[in-house]
Structure 1
Amino acid sequence: MKFNKIAVLLAVFSLVFALTACGSSKTAETPAATETKTAQSTDAATTTTDDAIKPEEGAKLTVWESKEERAYTDQIAQEFTAKYGVPVTVEEVSPTDQVGKLTQDGPSGLAADVVIFPHDNLGKAVSANLILPNDIFEKETKEQNTEASITGASYGGTLYGYPRSAETYALYYNKDLVKEAPTSFEQVIEISKKLTDKSKNKYGLMWEAGNFYFTYPFFASTGGYVFGKNGTDKSDIGLNNAGALEGMKVYQSLREILPVKTGDITPDIKRGLFTSGDVAMDINGPWELAGYKQALGDKLGIAPIPTIGGKPAISFSGIKAWYVNAYTPYPNAAKLFAHFATDKHGQLVLNEKVGSVPTNLEAQKDPQVANDPYVSAFAEQSKNSQPMPSIPEMGNVWAPVGAALSEIWDSGKDPKAALDNAVKQIQDLNNGATAK
């Protein structure tokens, strides 16, 4: 994965605590990295403008973007082409799949020139030499964006990304069905008992119960965590500790009001049910805001995630940023696009089109964002959010935990057994990655 008046809004972007990451393993330069050295200014005090870097002759770009946020990229691509004469093709690729696809397609020249992914994938991308540093526009990027977003888009002390949004998730609800937002999951259950009718495909609450990203509050709120030392110690895994198991009790209790297998809850299915009024509450991010507002209008409400075990719900947070493919034949054009797409105007377009939270400091203060009545709920939730770890080993977490959640939810497997197995798998994967 809008937000309130300036004072509250600024809290959104302090949501990502300092991310301490392992050092980069870059040992070899890609052709694009070598070619662009002569085009890069070495004077850190010199401010680079868009006019100081020219696209390569005959440059044309391919950009990967999510289905949900493509409306923004299509508009920015048209504006970029009009200004610089560089054609831009937009291809739909899920941000969470892009690093894996870039690993396969980058060296062969089949990947996009500019990609977008959450910051928890950054360590893996840097370690595999897949992306170029944000060097030409480093100074402007740091000056124009929140400190948290710069931290999230950096790894090993080097800025790689061009931040474009800060994300966490909150509770969407239909005011026609839920008069007042619940403040605890006990209340969620009571409300949902009156609304859930599986035979009619109607539910009080629906969220991606098998997706660790959205289900993290049921681990962290009661004391679980991914990695120790603020997400940097891969040897300390807290996904099966006593706190995590306590949260799993609340998680399991929700099966009563959402009797649906995890595999049958997809973003498209859930989106359709919520916008049609068949789902009353949905845990989701700001990327759904524009569509939900269009469908529900004044009936749409947003609130922080209800408490879990009597404690504030702790959600995952992340920074989305553009990155330049290290193998692009047009590094100047690609860097220029990434910078162009993330300035104040670009982030306001993204906010308008899909409801994102800007990281650009001027965009935050713009009335379009500062006066948005929905911002405050995400801002409030962000106060209890934790950044996803950015070390490469985070990539080893998603599949094992997702499988464990499906076993717990779908088959009623004992949470301790399922999570013990998931942690063992993560440890094995971490050790295997280290041994390479």
Structure 2
Amino acid sequence: MKTLKRKGLLILMAALLTFTLAACGGANENNGKTTNTETKTNNTNTPTNDNASTATEEVVPEEGASLLVWEESTDFEYLESVAADFKTKYNVDVKFEHVAAPDQADRLANDAPAGLAADVVMFAHDKLGNAVEAGLLFPNDVLEEQTKASHPEASISASSYGGTLYGYPKSVETYAVFYNKALVKDLPKTWDDVIAFSKSFTDNSAKKYGIMWEARLLFFNYPFFANKGGYIWGKDNTDPTDIGLNNEGSIEGAKYLQSLAEILPLKAENITWDVKTQLFTEGKVAFNIDGPWAISSFKDKVDFGVIPLPDQPDGSKSISLSGVRSYYVNSYTKYPNAAKLFASFLTNKENALKGFQMTGMLPSNKDAAADPLITNDPILSGFIQQFANSVPMPSIPQTNNVWTPMEGAITKIWNNKTQDVKAALDEAVKTIQESLASTAAK
């Protein structure tokens, strides 16, 4: 998916400790903790979180520390400005290397053990599970309480794994409804309103459509499942033994989704991001469900606004899936204190607002997100409102087994109005279960 631009979080600090580094070649033996006791020996590279109580103690950079940070090149001007302030405050040099966010977790797995990875990395939370399982990340321990106080629960949950906080949340994103102001006079509140508008506006022969979204993808269709009681995994999306994508709620929601093909009479596989983006900019789509990553594609091309997703037929607020991008500290870094400080420094209120002004990314930091600079923004406020009614995408590694089978099931359901919805969902869940069993057997 495309992504929008950037933000941050700050963390206050308290009293001084010393830190002992392990020898080169592996993760630090005390797992990057700032403590006033001797370093504990740990024979694995899996970080632990035994001393989270040190969050009230001041973190200081290691003597001679310097940092490498992976980020996307579109953010470099902002990052270099923050790095200059960090240098002034802590006397630590920070350099940046362009690595696309979707590639960072995989590259970390390959480069970290060899000592070639950045000290601080940044990726979306759905990559977190694999990175933690591989022992590649330090917990956010000494700054944990301050981090939790500075961010919404959704961001903290998304940046945690197995009950342990690892991330320093940077930005949040979910999808909402872009609307063309030249085509829409009365903003819809419910899906019934959207349906009524679309029936009078849509003209397939002229390639005009009331609303478009990538109808084959579970990601964008999640509200139809979740609002009826469907879910991906049990126990707040952490239990892969409990799949809720073919329960009664999911079946009911998928039947409603099937009915919406009437107002968007195209094959699901033909409703791609490129197609709907072009049609929206050409004034042939009135409502377009997409994320903040699409803003740059529409600016200067169409006069648009953004509103939250329409309410479901039962009056409930549509529950979208959301993503949280966070900074993480490489467990193989030579400078865990400096790395933790910089991840925290990047994401404080001041730097979050600076990031918003320079890049446009929605900040996770609560104080920054509540600033009038953002809340009064007519575009971003729509995403903020929808984020409040979202749940983080599951971060457990097994989630990778879900998307393709569900895309196949939803495509069948959408393209064929006589398709047995339960049969399609049962088949997808069976495929997911078989995939999980096959992976576990290896």
Task: Give the TM-score range, shorter chain.
Answer: 0.7 to 0.9
Aligned in 2, Cα 1:223/1:353: closer, same or farther, shift over 3 Å?
A: farther
Aligned ranges 1:85-104 → 2 under 5 Å: 85-94=93-102, 98-104=104-110
- Which of 251, 254, 258 is matched with 1:248 structurally? 254
Deviation at 1:132, TM superposition (A): 2.3
Deviation at 1:161, TM superposition (A): 0.3
Aligned in 2, Cα 1:354/1:278: closer, same or farther, shift over 3 Å?
A: farther
Mapped to 1, the partners of 2:352 and 2:337 lie a distance apart of: 21
Residue pair 1:288, 1:354 contacting (<8 A) in 2 also: no
Mapped to 2, the partners of 1:312 and 1:39 lie a distance apart of: 42
Q: Deviations over 1:152-209 (max 9, x none)?
A: 3122332210101233322221121121222333332332234334454432211121
Aligned in 2, Cα 1:109/1:405: closer, same or farther, shift over 3 Å?
A: farther
Residue type at the aligned position of 1:128: A
Deviation at 1:252, TM superposition (A): 1.9
Equivalent residue number for residue 5 of structure 1: none
Deviation at 1:100, TM superposition (A): 4.3
Structure (1 or 2) with the larger CA radius of gyration: 2
Deviation at 1:288, TM superposition (A): 3.6
Equivalent residue number for residue 56 of structure 2: 45
Equivalent residue number for residue 193 of structure 2: 187
Mapped to 2, the partners of 1:110 and 1:268 lie a distance apart of: 36
Deviation at 1:78, TM superposition (A): 1.9
Residue pair 2:26, 2:113 contacting (<8 A) in 1 also: no
Equivalent residue number for residue 313 of structure 1: 318
Mapped to 2, the partners of 1:201 and 1:383 lie a distance apart of: 34
- Which of 280, 289, 292 is matched with 2:286 structurally? 280
Residue pair 1:41, 1:136 contacting (<8 A) in 2 also: no
User: Paired residues, what number?
Assistant: 398
Residue type at the aligned position of 2:98: V
Residue pair 1:168, 1:317 contacting (<8 A) in 2 also: yes
SS at match of 2:318: coil
Aligned in 2, Cα 1:92/1:55: closer, same or farther, shift over 3 Å?
A: farther
Q: Deviations over 1:373-428 (max 9, x none)?
A: 45554454345433333333333222221232233334665332221121112222
Residue type at the aligned position of 2:81: E
Residue pair 1:160, 1:323 contacting (<8 A) in 2 also: yes
Q: After the TM superposition, which of the residue ranges 187-196 and 416-425 deviates more from structure 2?
A: 187-196
Aligned in 2, Cα 1:278/1:107: closer, same or farther, shift over 3 Å?
A: farther
SS at match of 1:323: strand
Identity %: 46
Residue pair 1:171, 1:303 contacting (<8 A) in 2 also: yes
Equivalent residue number for residue 222 of structure 2: 216
Equivalent residue number for residue 6 of structure 1: none
Mapped to 2, the partners of 1:421 and 1:100 lie a distance apart of: 30
Question: Is 1:127 matched up with 2:119?
Answer: no
Aligned ranges 1:256-295 → 2 under 5 Å: 256-289=262-295, 292=298, 295=301
Residue pair 2:174, 2:383 contacting (<8 A) in 1 also: yes
SS at match of 2:253: helix
Mapped to 1, the partners of 2:260 and 2:114 lie a distance apart of: 46
Q: After the TM superposition, which of the residue ranges 34-43 and 249-258 deviates more from structure 2?
A: 34-43
Equivalent residue number for residue 75 of structure 1: 77
Residue pair 2:25, 2:114 contacting (<8 A) in 1 also: no
Q: Give TM-score scaled by structure 2 length.
A: 0.76
Aligned in 2, Cα 1:35/1:417: closer, same or farther, shift over 3 Å?
A: same
Unaligned runs of 5+ in 2: 4-22, 37-53, 88-92
Mapped to 1, the partners of 2:167 and 2:113 lie a distance apart of: 20
Residue pair 1:56, 1:330 contacting (<8 A) in 2 also: no
Aligned ranges 1:253-402 → 2 under 5 Å: 253-289=259-295, 292=298, 295-297=301-303, 299-308=304-313, 311-327=316-332, 331=336, 334-353=339-358, 355-374=360-379, 377-402=382-407
Equivalent residue number for residue 169 of structure 1: 175
SS at match of 2:57: coil
Question: Is 1:144 matched up with 2:150?
Answer: yes
Mapped to 1, the partners of 2:317 and 2:145 lie a distance apart of: 37
Aligned in 2, Cα 1:351/1:273: closer, same or farther, shift over 3 Å?
A: farther
- The alignment yields a C-alpha RMSD, in angstroms, of 3.5
Aligned in 2, Cα 1:196/1:109: closer, same or farther, shift over 3 Å?
A: farther
Q: After the TM superposition, which of the residue ranges 243-252 and 111-120 deviates more from structure 2?
A: 111-120
SS at match of 1:240: coil
Residue type at the aligned position of 1:53: P
Deviation at 1:238, TM superposition (A): 1.4
SS at match of 1:369: helix
Residue pair 2:57, 2:142 contacting (<8 A) in 1 also: no
Residue type at the aligned position of 1:86: V
Mapped to 1, the partners of 2:300 and 2:357 lie a distance apart of: 12
Equivalent residue number for residue 33 of structure 1: 27
Mapped to 2, the partners of 1:145 and 1:55 lie a distance apart of: 30
More helix by share: 1
Equivalent residue number for residue 20 of structure 1: none
Residue pair 2:198, 2:209 contacting (<8 A) in 1 also: yes
Residue type at the aligned position of 2:84: A
Equivalent residue number for residue 70 of structure 2: 63
Equivalent residue number for residue 46 of structure 2: none
Mapped to 1, the partners of 2:24 and 2:192 lie a distance apart of: 54
Aligned in 2, Cα 1:378/1:166: closer, same or farther, shift over 3 Å?
A: same
Aligned in 2, Cα 1:324/1:402: closer, same or farther, shift over 3 Å?
A: farther
Q: Give TM-score scaled by structure 1 length.
A: 0.77
